């Protein structure tokens, strides 16, 4: 009914990139935003020894402090929500008078991938050389700043994108580059899968707690399907579960094939 209609809920999820599973989720309150939901989600997780990566919206002192308190490290993207810090890191690596020298003195890692007609080269720089402005920011446990430049060529067209980061990690470029790369993969491994395979964006469930409950169920289903080791695609696994009760039972029980 029109009078009981609600807007679609907004969820914050924790994704384990090495295992390909959702570790937890938190509904964003209608009168709040992700900045308050993220610390609540972090509180539910055992993070000691992990590297936590978050989009630019989560680049907040309180969130960085929470991560450090739980014995983890962070790699946080810098965008318009932290303009002063973003400008400082961008000046260090790109626009400042000593930017070329800074990149030469920084730890560096490069990786190129090809597939489906696309060639992508990712260059990562990370440095522990924090200038006075970055030190004055007194960011929790800040040890390094980084930049990743992605150059993509597809159908003869080339695009270049630069992203900037704050991190509590030591300046080890391969580790930093892998953390950033894994985070970029979340869009395909989690968000795209939920939308395309489970049609999450098309859901019109609004009554009561239904939307939140079904979001939990979709995450559980995605975890179970990803843990099933066959080479089938996610849609084929879902279809096989619908057609074959034995296969469905094995997926639910997590049995190996």
> What are the beta bridge partners of residue 112?
121
> What pLDDT, on a 0 to 100 scale, did the predictor assign at position 178?
92
Cα separations (Å) of 64 from 15, 77, 243? 17, 12, 46
Strand extents, DSSP E, 44-117 = 51-54, 73-78, 107-115
> What pLDDT, on a 0 to 100 scale, did the predictor assign at position 217?
75
Q: In 3-state terms, what secondary structure has residue 26? A: strand
Q: In 3-state terms, what secondary structure has residue 188? A: helix
> What pLDDT, on a 0 to 100 scale, did the predictor assign at position 3?
44
Q: How far apart are CA 197 and CA 199, in angstroms?
A: 6
Nearest to 165 by CA among 84, 110, 89, 73: 89
Residues of the chain scoring pLDDT < 50:
1-4, 191-192, 257
> What pLDDT, on a 0 to 100 scale, did the predictor assign at position 10?
65
Total-model pTM: 0.73
């Amino acid at each position: 009914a029109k009078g009981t209609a609600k807007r679609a809920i907004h969820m914050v999820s924790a994704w384990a990139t090495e295992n390909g599973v959702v570790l937890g989720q938190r509904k964003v309150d209608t009168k709040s935003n992700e900045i308050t939901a993220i610390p609540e989600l972090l509180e539910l997780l055992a993070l000691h020894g992990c590297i936590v990566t978050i989009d630019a919206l989560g680049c907040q002192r309180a969130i960085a402090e929470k991560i450090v308190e739980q014995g983890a490290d962070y790699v946080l993207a810098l965008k318009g929500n932290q303009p002063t810090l973003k400008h400082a890191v961008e000046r260090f690596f790109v626009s400042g008078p000593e930017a070329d020298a800074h990149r030469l003195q920084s730890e560096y890692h490069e990786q190129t991938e090809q597939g489906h007609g696309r060639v992508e080269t990712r260059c990562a720089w990370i440095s522990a050389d924090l200038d006075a402005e970055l030190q004055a920011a007194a960011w929790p446990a800040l040890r390094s700043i980084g930049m990743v430049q992605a150059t993509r060529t597809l159908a003869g067209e080339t695009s270049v994108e630069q992203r900037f980061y704050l991190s509590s990690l030591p300046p080890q470029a391969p580790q930093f580059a892998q953390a950033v790369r894994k985070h970029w993969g979340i869009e395909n491994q989690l968000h795209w899968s939920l939308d395309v395979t489970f049609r999450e964006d098309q859901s019109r469930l609004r009554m009561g707690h239904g939307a939140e409950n079904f979001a939990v169920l979709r995450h559980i289903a995605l975890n179970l399907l990803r843990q099933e080791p066959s080479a089938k695609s996610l849609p084929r696994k879902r279809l096989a579960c619908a057609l074959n009760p034995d296969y469905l039972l094995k997926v639910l029980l997590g049995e190996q094939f």
